[in-house]
Chains A and B, each alone.
Chain A
Amino acid sequence: MNTPVLSAQDIRKSYGRGANRFDALKGVTLDVHSGESVAIVGKSGSGKSTLMHLLALLDNPDSGTLSVNGTDATSLSHSQLNRLRNADFGFVFQQFFLTPNASVLDNVTLPLRIAGMGARERKTRGMAVLEQLELADKAKNRATNLSGGQKQRAVIARALVNNPAVIFADEPTGNLDSVTGGIVEDILFSLNKEKGITLVLVTHDLDLAARCDRQLFLHDGLEEPGLEQSGAGTRPVSVSAPASAPVAAPASPPVHAPTPGTPTRRGRHAGTEQGGAE
């Protein structure tokens, strides 16, 4: 098999020190191949965002190895790392992180500005991607004045504008109602199918996870085995009937139920406290 785009071998990450030390990831292994869509699923606090940030080389693991196209991440120079983040990765963060007073177009073209592209080309490409996400008429609006769904689309537009090879999306539908969420999902999966963009999705939504080729179930910083094969991208999940599809393999406990004896660290419904729109 060809080398994976992203590969994580037994990565661990802990926050804090001493008594406050918290192990967010306790040894996770994952390969993501080009053109794949992979869902990272788990309840709130299970380490999904942490794993995604590590895969995207935004943070360094305490132990384990990360590699990109077969190259060890630790051997990358600062500028190689920056080029990778800028040109090959697209990010959709859990909170939108739009600059509130800048125009939608300026927000969307930020990666191009960082890349050093000229103003005219930036505008052309920014408008093209906004067109694609049906936001062209809002290009001149200030980012604060967008609705939640529009913000989410603007954020996706920003992730797309540099034609990335991999898109990392943290709860891309977490803040949206089911209809808008469905639209956003469709956009992401059509990009995956049509342009072959690799998708790494973080979600607590099992239906969304089921639409991906593969799922990684996280529980308290560890992969829950036995669940991985379940979706395999074979079962089509209709957006209009989100609640109906059971995801878990029959033999395994449902992922969102707390393991007996393990105290739930946060609320059961992960998405509810994440209204971080600016």
Chain B
Amino acid sequence: MRFVDILGAAVSNSFRSKLRTSLTVIAVFIGAFTLTITSAIGTGVNEYITTQVASMGAADVLTVTKQGDQTKNIDAGPAKYDPAKASLSGGFGPGGQAPPGVSFSALTLKDIDTIGATPGILDANPLTQVSPNYIEYNGRGKFELTVDPAAALTTPDLVAGEPFSESGDANEILLPGSYLENLGLGKADAAVGKTVTLGITTYTGEQREVTATVAGVKNESLFSNGVGLSQPLTDALSAIQNQGKPSNTVEGFFAATAHIDANSTQEQIDVIKADLDAQGFKAQTVADQLGTFETVINGIVGVLNAFAVIALIAAGFGIINTLLMSVQERTREIGLMKAMGMSGGKIYALFSMEAIFIGFLGSAIGAVVAIALGSVISNALSNTVLSGLPGLHIMQFAPASIAVIIGIVMLIAFLAGTLPARRAARQNPIDALRYE
């Protein structure tokens, strides 16, 4: 029997009992539909993150932290107190002692030097977190501000102006577009070059002011929201923030940024990371951090997919049931075909094909409906609930993953079909012909 004939016979056989086939197809449909939707969400969200990251660039920056006591075995009990060990008092704003009981391992200035001396590292700067109280332009009112802690790590997506000047010892600032109107800076182009004032409190509680030039206006994105401060500006604010701090406090930093050669290969980066690791530091590129993010999202999507696969396995039992009934009904026909010289293998192929066809039908319809419905919902969400995250399409249907889903469903259907198909293939022609 030719392949086309087997296929044709399988298709027409599955339509012989329309109601039964339809019900089985619906079961497969539900699984395939869910799987298509969940994987589309995975694709949509991950794609969004990837484009966000692509816009960030900054492949030459490593974020370095101290290797964690955080990850220390809980059963080992508390570590011995070490007065020389830094606490994060310098890092978390005025008076920002780490809350009692929470022990962060912070980087000391000595650590920063060690990191900077590591081969391959061009320079290392403490990642200080500064918390200015307000921002003001030309006396037109003080407004609260959020500082983008990752500003140094990212290449901003600018609407107007320039990124921070390379050599720069200037106090520069990048403002999100949404700040302009309240501050009274007008249009983005007009805002560039204006001077704004930042207010900050010292360790002892006195208010100080620092001025900065608006270098550019940026789009807000997932990874960079808030105001970007240039390194000199951050240093200046940090200095004020730490004024009056008791000298016996060991200054500590949550993290450090280290620059490497922008042309480093992945192997070179791996060597540097391993080197830092050996010294007790944990270094991550932006891509690594993103990887963590993606891992979380993939985990969530994976759980959703698992549910869909469970639905598909249930549908697989539906297929087994349908085909067993079909084999039973067609016992005589099988006997006849065997008597006429059809091999067991071909009979097996015939029933397997029927299973695969049911799987294909369910998954193809499921995918098509999911794409149609998902696109409508995704667009509706982008224009309403998710309009704050421009460029995010919560569901994206990648042709490759849809092909994979249909393939997986057909595989499950094939596996489900093996039991009935084996039973059919093994029948003795005479017993089958005598079957009433």
Contact of B341 (CB < 8 Å), options: A59, A83, A95: A83
Q: Does B273 contact A (CB under 8 A)?
A: no
Per-residue A-contact encoding for B82-96, CB less than 8 Å = 1, 0 else: 000000000000000
A111 in contact with B5 (CB, 8 Å): no
B16 in contact with A59 (CB, 8 Å): no
A97 in contact with B433 (CB, 8 Å): yes
Q: Does B430 contact A (CB under 8 A)?
A: yes
B429 in contact with A111 (CB, 8 Å): no
B340 in contact with A111 (CB, 8 Å): yes
A93 in contact with B433 (CB, 8 Å): yes
Contact of A99 (CB < 8 Å), options: B1, B333, B339, B429: B333
Contact of B342 (CB < 8 Å), options: A56, A99, A114: A114
B332 in contact with A59 (CB, 8 Å): no
B333 in contact with A86 (CB, 8 Å): no
Q: Does B204 contact A (CB under 8 A)?
A: no
A78 in contact with B343 (CB, 8 Å): yes
Q: Does A79 contact B (CB under 8 A)?
A: yes
What is the distance, in angstroms, from A170's C-beta to the closest C-beta of chain B? 10
Q: Does A53 contact B (CB under 8 A)?
A: yes
Q: Does A85 contact B (CB under 8 A)?
A: yes
**CB-defined contacts of A118 to chain B, threshold 8 Å:** 2
Q: A97 and B332 in contact (CB under 8 A), knowing A85-B341, A115-B341?
A: yes
**CB-defined contacts of B341 to chain A, threshold 8 Å:** 81-87, 111, 114-115
Interface residues of A in 41-78 (CB under 8 A from B): 53, 56, 58-59, 78
CB-based nearest A residue for B12: A102
Interface size on A, residues (CB 8 A): 27
B339 in contact with A91 (CB, 8 Å): yes
Interface residues of B in 323-372 (CB under 8 A from A): 332-333, 335-337, 339-344, 346
CB-based nearest B residue for A113: B5
What is the distance, in angstroms, from B74's C-beta to the closest C-beta of chain A? 65
Q: Does B428 contact A (CB under 8 A)?
A: yes
Q: A91 and B2 in contact (CB under 8 A), knowing A59-B428, A101-B16?
A: no
CB-based nearest B residue for A85: B341
B428 in contact with A86 (CB, 8 Å): no
**CB-defined contacts of A110 to chain B, threshold 8 Å:** 336-337, 340
Contact of B2 (CB < 8 Å), options: A53, A95, A116: A116
**A118, B342: Cα distance in complex, Å:** 16
B433 in contact with A114 (CB, 8 Å): no
What is the distance, in angstroms, from B411's C-beta to the closest C-beta of chain A? 27
Which positions in A face B, CB cutoff 8 Å? 53, 56, 58-59, 78-79, 81-87, 91, 93, 95, 97, 99, 101, 110-111, 113-116, 118-119
- 17 contacting pairs across A/B (C-beta < 8 A): A58-B339, A59-B430, A79-B343, A81-B341, A82-B341, A82-B343, A85-B339, A87-B341, A93-B339, A95-B433, A97-B335, A99-B333, A113-B1, A113-B2, A113-B5, A114-B340, A116-B1
Given contacts A82-B341, A83-B341, A114-B337, 8 further A-B contacts (CB under 8 A): A58-B433, A82-B343, A91-B339, A97-B433, A114-B341, A115-B341, A118-B2, A119-B5
